[in-house]
A and B are shown apart, each in its own frame.
Chain A
Amino acid sequence: DSGVTQTPKHLITATGQRVTLRCSPRSGDLSVYWYQQSLDQGLQFLIQYYNGEERAKGNILERFSAQQFPDLHSELNLSSLELGDSALYFCASSANGVNQETQYFGPGTRLLVL
């Protein structure tokens, strides 16, 4: 158990809908990351937050947004969902959000868009 929790584990929804994925980092970690894993794109970095502020952005669509709250949990919002958004979404956390740190991954949220 990494100490990172993600809810829900599974999510089934329809095209055009909006969903929210939630992540709680390990105790003491200030930085949260979101990654998307799909069969065609592999594992891709979406976005990083550090202590409530956005620190780095990757291949995140404009339909997607995220935030990190004062209690350090994070939410990833996916809107106007398309079939191609079906994927496994991972959250990870690390202590200070810098490049040599180990990131601890949650179990993921599996999203299926029908």
Chain B
Amino acid sequence: ETGVTQSPTHLIKTRGQQVTLRCSSQSGHNTVSWYQQALGQGPQFIFQYYREEENGRGNFPPRFSGLQFPNYSSELNVNALELDDSALYLCASSPPDRGREQYFGPGTRLTVT
């Protein structure tokens, strides 16, 4: 196990609702990246947080937002959920100055109906 935890493991929401997903990074890791993995696809980068600031963003609309807390844990918020938001959401943490080493959590499986 990587030591990265995510909650919840599964959830079901309806279109238009809002959701918050949580990630606790591995001890000593100060960078957190979020990815979306749709069925049959590879993970797609959403954004990255470093020292509580957004540090890079992929091609996702503003309704995807995030936070990082002083203990380096992180949240992903998605507003106005759409059916296509149904996916596995993965969080990965990285140690200081070794951003290419990313350790993934087990993911949160979101279903939007």
Q: A and B from one assembly?
A: no
